[in-house]
Amino acid sequence: MNNIITFPNLGLEFNINRAIFTIGNFSVYWYGIIISIGMILAVIYGYNECKRINFNTDDFFNMLIIAIPVAIICARLYYVIFSWDLYKDDIASVIDIRNGGLAIYGGVIGAALTVIIYCTKKKIKIGVVLDMLAVGLLIGQSIGRWGNFVNGEAFGSATTLPWAMCVTSNGRQIADMVHPTFLYESLWNALGIIVLLVYKRYKKTDGELFCAYMIWYGLGRSFIEGLRADSLFLGPVKVSQILSVCILITGVITLVYLKKCSKK
């Protein structure tokens, strides 16, 4: 369970045990803890936003109770569907998420659909809620990528850049002088938090902030995914890269539409 992650040109080395502790055959992993920390901070931000805009906190927590497990299930399904060869001979392993195998896009899509359905049934303005969640999503995604660091995954292709990374897992080198794409995405999302917080002051109508999230994340992920060496494929196509471009375009079109509506 040990990963040795080094940045040779920077003189940095990290010897990481993926498990915090083990009791019998059960281990608690850093990956799960880091993902949980990201979720908790996102929830705290969302709760504070509820207070700021006088949104019903009962509705907020009711949505979370449904959206979080749905997001986890969808994140797993997304990964399993596009990595079926890894699971087709051992169906029981589909439900074992302790070794990773969660695709963030599946989680975001699952959470967003849950919020839209909930708001529709409760006759709540969807744009208000999506705007409230936009920054929280980037908080969770920015922190969550460090779970990939601990697992020694989500790295890119070979590079000669000064911050090139090497990964040795259980004594076997799995990456030699590659892009630390987990870091790229974490930093991009962290910068996006600042961008969205600034944009929030100037938005004219509900839904704009979530559109800005779609544009920002779609733009960054489409480039970063192009560098990754462990992408999920549909035939010759990187699924998440194509999806990123689609989300970027959808965000731009929707934002333009909302701007026109606000002027009218």
151 part of a folded domain: yes
247 part of a folded domain: no
Q: What is the pLDDT of residues 43-73, one digit of tens each?
A: 999 999 999 999 999 999 999 999 999 999 9
260 part of a folded domain: no
105 part of a folded domain: yes
119 part of a folded domain: yes
Domain count, the chain: 1
Question: Is the entire prediction scored with pTM above 0.75?
Answer: yes
Residue 138's Cβ-count burial label (10 Å; 0-12, 13-18, 19+) is: buried
The pLDDT value recorded for residue 215 is: 98
232 part of a folded domain: no
Q: Which residues are registered as beta bridge partners of 26?
A: 23
Residues of the chain with pLDDT under 50: none
246 part of a folded domain: no
Residue 59's Cβ-count burial label (10 Å; 0-12, 13-18, 19+) is: middle
> Residue 166: in which H helix or E strand, if any?
strand 165-169
**For residue 11, what are the domain limits?**
2-202
107 part of a folded domain: yes
Residue 77's Cβ-count burial label (10 Å; 0-12, 13-18, 19+) is: middle
The pLDDT value recorded for residue 100 is: 65
